[in-house]
């Protein structure tokens, strides 16, 4: 799937991108590194623990589904450890019983009732612009410096970067750069298995621009099973909902091209967030519509109602609704 000549050019290009400027900025880099070293010497290692517990009560009505209620939970524990003040060791432990839930919401978990480590990675600064990441369990979006959207795609059914950041949950290593003018670049090698070979390896690259009110990314994911390319952009006008658009193309082994796209709006208010979106939600390019709100009851409690409509291969589309409760501890 990945041509050797194309891959060689690809790697050479990104090695050139991440070559440090040893002349024009060497004095500035040395000054910042010396200042950073002083901070690190006086830093005492710290660890913080945070958790989220979700309860999801919902129902789905469609041609092949009943209208019975479904009740699931998701428990997510995050441990953040810093040894120098400029690094982060992230461990996420998760459990959830939504493997048989027909809702298939992004905020649900299918990890099972036993707690499992779903993320284990380490980020550290190389200098004032460069950051490296390495981990034993990472998702495709980990280590990418760009901001593709200001819409929360981790709630309902639509995902604008479904293919370009899809590399399973396995080991990875990457490097990224963030410049003061908003430009950023990332390159990452990831795998969907603990055994890294030609069948499992993914080469993910991204270039982006992140400003205060707008930005976007161009992302590529090359691997043995498919090649995916995506373009995403967002705009956050003052006192109006943010506008978010993304589109992806995936070419697989069967020479079939699959398109994934999303158009979304999100408004952040004083005590709640509201979002609506339309786009494709599966490999058959079926259309889905979603709407949700995240309402702050207190600092530790949020209510997240979700409603969606998704087309399928049947005559009648599926209509889903859920009330999600989020406890933070």
DSSP state of 209: E
Reported confidence tier of residue 179, pLDDT bands at 50, 70, 90: very high
Angstrom distance (rounded) from CA 221 to CA 3: 14
pLDDT at 12: 47
pLDDT > 60? residue 31: no
Angstrom distance (rounded) from CA 10 to CA 329: 44
pLDDT > 60? residue 18: no
DSSP, collapsed to helix, strand or coil, labels residue 62 as: strand
| % of the chain surpassing 90 pLDDT | 74
pLDDT > 80? residue 36: no
Q: How far is CA 42 from CA 30, 45, 81, 127, in A?
A: 19, 10, 16, 18
Side-chain half-sphere exposure of 325, counting CA atoms within 13 A: 7
CATH number at residue 303: 2.40.160.10
Between 205 and 25, where is the model more confident? 205
Out of 13-27, 40-54, 83-97, which region has the weakest mean confidence (pLDDT)? 13-27
pLDDT > 80? residue 26: no
Tally of domains within the chain: 1
pLDDT tens digits, 263-303: 999 999 989 999 999 999 998 899 999 999 999 999 999 99
Reported confidence tier of residue 195, pLDDT bands at 50, 70, 90: confident
Phi, psi of 328 (to 5 degrees): -110, 135
pLDDT > 70? residue 41: no
Its domain, for residue 188, covers 4-328
Which residues share a beta bridge with 76?
52, 94
pLDDT at 112: 93
pLDDT at 22: 42
8 Å CB contact between 174 and 186: yes
Q: Apex CA 95: angle with CA 307 and CA 290, to 5°?
A: 15
**Of 247, 301, 292, which Cα lies nearest the Cα of 267?**
292
Q: What is the mean pLDDT of the chain?
A: 89
Q: What is the rounded average pLDDT of the residues 75-96?
A: 96
pLDDT at 227: 95
pLDDT at 62: 79
Angstrom distance (rounded) from CA 130 to CA 184: 10
In the chain, beta strands by DSSP E = 46-61, 69-82, 87-96, 112-125, 130-138, 170-178, 183-191, 201-210, 214-223, 226-235, 242-252, 257-268, 272-280, 287-296, 301-310, 318-328
Q: What is the rounded average pLDDT of the residues 207-234?
A: 97
| % of the chain surpassing 70 pLDDT | 86
Q: How far is CA 141 from CA 10, 203, 280, in A?
A: 20, 12, 20
Q: How far is CA 226 from CA 1, 13, 55, 166, 254, in A?
A: 7, 21, 35, 10, 9
Q: How far is CA 250 from CA 7, 12, 118, 254, in A?
A: 17, 23, 26, 11
8 Å CB contact between 132 and 97: no
What's the pTM value of the predicted model, to 2 decimals? 0.86
pLDDT at 252: 86
pLDDT tens digits, 254-264: 778 899 999 99
**Of 78, 120, 113, 117, which Cα lies nearest the Cα of 95?**
113
Q: What is the rounded average pLDDT of the residues 53-75?
A: 87
DSSP state of 65: B
DSSP, collapsed to helix, strand or coil, labels residue 15 as: helix
């Amino acid at each position: 799937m990945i041509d050797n000549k194309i891959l060689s050019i690809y790697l050479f290009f990104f090695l050139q991108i991440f070559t440090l400027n040893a002349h024009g900025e060497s004095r500035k880099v040395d000054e910042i590194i010396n200042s950073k070293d002083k901070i690190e010497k006086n830093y005492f290692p710290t660890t913080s623990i945070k958790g989220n517990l979700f309860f999801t009560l919902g129902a789905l009505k469609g041609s092949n589904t009943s209208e019975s209620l479904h009740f699931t939970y998701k428990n997510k524990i995050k441990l953040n450890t810093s040894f120098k003040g400029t690094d982060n060791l992230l461990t996420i432990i998760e459990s959830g019983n939504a493997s048989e839930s027909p809702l298939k919401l992004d905020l649900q978990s299918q990890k099972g009732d036993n707690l499992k480590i779903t993320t284990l990675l380490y980020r550290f600064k190389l200098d004032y612009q460069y950051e490296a990441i390495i981990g034993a369990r990472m998702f495709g979006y980990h280590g990418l410096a760009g901001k593709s959207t200001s819409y929360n795609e981790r709630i309902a059914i639509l995902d604008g970067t479904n293919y370009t950041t899809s590399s399973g949950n396995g080991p990875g290593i990457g490097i990224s750069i963030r410049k003061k003018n908003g430009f950023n670049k990332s390159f990452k090698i990831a795998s969907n298995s603990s055994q890294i070979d030609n069948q499992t390896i993914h080469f993910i690259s991204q270039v982006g621009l992140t400003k205060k009110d707008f930005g976007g990314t161009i992302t590529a994911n090359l691997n043995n099973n498919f090649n995916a390319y995506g373009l995403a952009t967002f705009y956050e006008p003052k006192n109006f909902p943010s506008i978010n658009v993304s589109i992806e193309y995936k070419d697989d082994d069967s020479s079939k091209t699959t398109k994934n796209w999303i158009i979304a709006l999100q408004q952040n208010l004083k005590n709640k967030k509201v979002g609506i979106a339309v786009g494709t939600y599966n490999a058959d390019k079926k259309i889905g519509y979603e709407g949700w709100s995240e309402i702050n009851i207190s600092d530790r409690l949020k209510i997240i109602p979700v409603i969606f409509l998704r087309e399928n291969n049947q005559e009648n589309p599926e209509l889903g609704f859920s009330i999600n409760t989020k406890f933070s501890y």
